[in-house]
Amino acid sequence: MRKRIVIIGGGASGLTAAIGGARNGAHVTIVEHMDRVGKKILSTGNGRCNLTNLRMGEDCYRCGQKGFPMEVIRGFGVDETLAFFKGLGIEPKDRNGYIYPNSDQASAVLDVLRSEVERLGVVVLLSCRVEKIEPAVGGGGVRYKVYTDQGILDAEAVILAAGSKAAPSTGSDGSGYELARRLGHRIIKPLPALVQLRCQGSMYRQMAGIRTEAGVKLMAAGELLGRDRGELQLTDYGLSGIPVFQVSRFAARALDQGKRVTALVDFMPSWDDSEAFGLLKKRASLLGHKTAEELFTGLLNKKLALVLIKLAGIKPSQKAGDLSPKQLKLLLGQMKSYEAIVMSVNPFANAQVCCGGVDTREVDAATMESGIHANLYLAGELLDVDGICGGYNLQFAWSSGMIAGVHAAGGYFAETHEADRNRAEAHGAYGPAPGGKRNRK
């Protein structure tokens, strides 16, 4: 008799788990409370689906248990992910290590996953909500009863892949946390991550719409929580953009702990303080006949410069040649270390992922099996793992989902990898990773 697996959640990790389980002979049922599976995949990579990244390391993930994410990734890594998707028909494209489908369509990724799920005979229950999961008592091989609003499902194994609370419009409502908690798992408070920062002050309305290269250092109680550099976006309420997203999870956690959080923004990250001050003095001398406002023309965005000048206590109409060394240093301070007081992060509706979730110390990274209940597996965003921008969260979803699916079915993992490789070769699709790079750790 085929082993029965019930997967809660039809997102990236759930679909991958279903494929891994079904390819290893299991009878798989996906329970999805939305009217279609994989909706969140469509929004990844701005609709292009950043499948994975050729650069993988511990610093790409945040987790309460150091080393856990990369242990999972090593179990089903970038090479295996590329072989898996090539076998499904996705031709990958390398953009400086960021891997996308060559079509630049997230819909293509979802299409091939859904097609494979259908080919394998996976049962998909849509608009179906799980009410509770109970370890079953008695014989017959049934280990779990999954109670849904469409009936009761019996299973020898259950995979919880219900996602986080981020982007609830795509189906991530956080219901998986409660299911895991009822089964005895500890939940680390989920908070928004890869999200914008809301900051104190009315000046942001004057700077809204500005995009500029900047460095961002996040501070709390004198401690450096995180730093990044990239294109900063100024909004009418605060800070956005990749460098802000990368440190936002630290802001969310510190604010939740009642700490005062600030973001120090360097609007001239290509110059150190000495170089920037020398440049200011040189420009003030060369352009002394111009106003302080005009001094920044061609150096900084005009709207940004005007705000920084005013914050330095200088009149925009003052002649640049009349600026004292003290005033130039005040300007330098605003340019190189502008202080944004962070009041909050944007809500889950704006977040790409969450920090927090099921404590990974209660999960075996080699199999994704629960350390509390045998034949209960957990995968994807439900866990206390969040990656930085760049395909890392999807890679963790593919990795944890495939590992959970194969082990839940009792399959041999090395054979699953080889089958993916053979399938890709049969389609003439398998070859070196894009750019000829490999990603063995």
Q: Does residue 432 have a pLDDT over 50?
A: no
Q: What percent of the chain has pLDDT over 70?
A: 93
At residue 411, the pLDDT reads 79
The answer to whether 144 and 134 are in contact (CB under 8 A) is: yes
Mean pLDDT (whole number) for 244-264: 98
Residue 1 has pLDDT above 90, yes or no: no
Q: Give the per-residue pLDDT at 429.
A: 42
The pLDDT of residue 304 is 98
Q: pLDDT over 90 for what percent of the chain?
A: 90
Report residue 437's pLDDT band, with 50, 70 and 90 as the boundaries: very low
**What does the pLDDT average to over 189-195?**
98
Which pLDDT belongs to residue 386? 98
Domains in the chain, CATH or no CATH each: 4-192+354-436 (3.50.50.60), 196-345 (no CATH)
Q: pLDDT at residue 92 above 80?
A: yes
AA letter at 426: A
Which residue pairs, CB below 8 angstroms and at least 24 apart, start in 329-335?
A: 329/277, 331/280, 332/273, 332/276, 332/277, 332/280, 334/308, 334/309, 335/266, 335/267, 335/268, 335/276, 335/280, 335/300, 335/308
What are the tokens at 402? 């495939």
Residue 336 to residue 269: CA distance in whole angstroms:
8
Residue 434 in this model has a pLDDT that exceeds 60: no
Q: Average pLDDT of 135-152?
A: 87
How many residues are there in the chain? 441
Q: In the predicted model, what is the mean pLDDT of residues 413-427?
A: 62
Task: Give the CA distances from residue 310 to residues 143, 302, 313, 334, 385, in Å, rounded to whole numbers and listed in that order.
Answer: 68, 13, 5, 10, 42
Q: Region 145-168: what's the mean pLDDT?
A: 97
Q: Which phi and psi angles does 159 have, rounded to 5°?
A: -115, 120
Banded pLDDT at 431 (limits 50, 70, 90) = very low
Q: Is the dihedral of CA 421, 120, 103, 440 positive or negative?
A: negative
Task: Choose the weakest-confidence range: 94-98, 133-137, 377-381, 436-440.
Answer: 436-440
Q: Where are the alpha helices (DSSP H) in 39-88?
A: 68-75, 78-88
Mean pLDDT of 366-393: 98
Average pLDDT value over all residues in the chain: 94
Reported for 102-109, long-range contacts at CB under 8 A and 24+ positions apart, including other chains, are 104/48, 105/47, 105/48, 105/49, 106/41, 106/42, 106/43, 106/44, 106/45, 106/47, 106/48, 106/49, 107/42, 108/49, 109/41, 109/49, 109/51, 109/85
Which candidate, 382, 427, 398, places its Cα nearest to that of 79?
Answer: 398
The pLDDT of residue 441? 28
416 pLDDT band, cuts 50/70/90, is low
Q: Look at residue 96 and tell me whether its pLDDT is greater than 50.
A: yes
CA distance 20 to 411: 9
pLDDT of 316 > 80? The answer is yes
Asked whether the beta carbons of 375 and 367 are under 8 A apart, the reply is no
The reported pLDDT for the residue numbered 2 is: 87
